[in-house]
Amino acid sequence: MLAESRADLLGRERQRVLGAAHDLVEREPRELATLLDRLTINVSELFRNPEKWEELRTKILPELLKRKRTLRIWSAGCSIGAEPYTLLMVLEQLTPGTRHHLLATDLDRKILEKAQRGTYAEAELRNVPKECRQKYMTPVGTDSQVTAAMRDRVTFRAHNLLSDPYEKDFDLIVCRNVVIYFTDDAKDQLFKKFSDSLVPGGVLFIGGTERIFNYRELGMDTRIPFFYEKQT
């Protein structure tokens, strides 16, 4: 009985805290932005872990491009936009001038505005190849901005990975360093949804600190670490 009483007490306290947070957001909508800033982590940079982007360029994308001239790609949890713009630069190296369908989503609408501007400090550009900076970026004061022509090729959209529906028929989904902040149950749900959203032969690209231990149960296989291919 004592254990049950403690559990009941903890449950009521949890509900009280959640209720207070809900009431605060209802009264002060601006507090929602503060809450999102604390819940979402927006540290990123272009070409993060450059060796994995090189594997994408040399081993993964050429195989996908053998099947289709234009690809459907989703950058899920895109944060400040470093990931989709890196994708664009890599694709431009392989298929110059080709307009692929590139969707980039994030829960945080405020950070999506920054992503759409495409302006980055030097620390966020340390891994960008020199030729890419010269072709696809222009100086803006002490920062650099992705060219308007490149920014126009990304569709940015707000999306909640846990509750919103997922689009289908993607050839490539990139979701790196995002699911590490979720519970194990939530991770399983997300990886299942990602698998369902890929075409047969499509690839899921995850972060260097992440693993999918049950990938075979999800109908996927892996030949290179951090890249999972949906089986036909």
Q: Where are the domains of the chain?
A: 2-39, 50-230
- Residue-wise over 214-224: b if at least 16 C-beta within 10 A, else e? ebeebbbeeee
Tell me: pLDDT of 147 over 50.
Answer: yes
pLDDT of residue 15: 47
| SS3 assignment, position 160 | coil
Better-predicted residue by pLDDT, 79 or 16: 79
pLDDT at 135 (0 to 100): 96
Is pLDDT of 40 > 50?
A: no
Domain formed by 50-230, architecture: 3-Layer(aba) Sandwich (3.40)
Each residue's pLDDT tens digit, 193-218: 999 999 999 999 999 889 999 999 99
CA distance 221 to 226: 11
Q: Which residue has the tokens 């993964």?
A: 60
15's tokens: 């509900």
Q: Do residues 115 and 121 touch, judged by C-beta distance below 8 A?
A: no
* For residues 168-182, average pLDDT: 93
Tokens of 28: 């002060």
Among 6-10, 80-84, 88-92, 153-157, the minimum mean pLDDT is found in: 6-10
Report, in angstroms and rounded to the nearest whole number, the Rg of the chain calculated over CA atoms: 20
Q: DSSP per residue over 169-193, as a string? A: -EEEEEE-SSGGGS-HHHHHHHHHH
pLDDT at position 10 is: 42
Which of helix, strand or coil describes residue 72? strand
pLDDT of residue 26: 54
Share of the chain above pLDDT 90, in %: 77
End-to-end CA distance of the chain: 54
Instruction: Tell me what percent of the residues of the chain surpass a pLDDT of 70.
Output: 81
Nearest to 82 by CA among 46, 122, 128: 46
Question: Residue 139: which residues within 8 A CB-CB, separation 6 or more?
Answer: 145
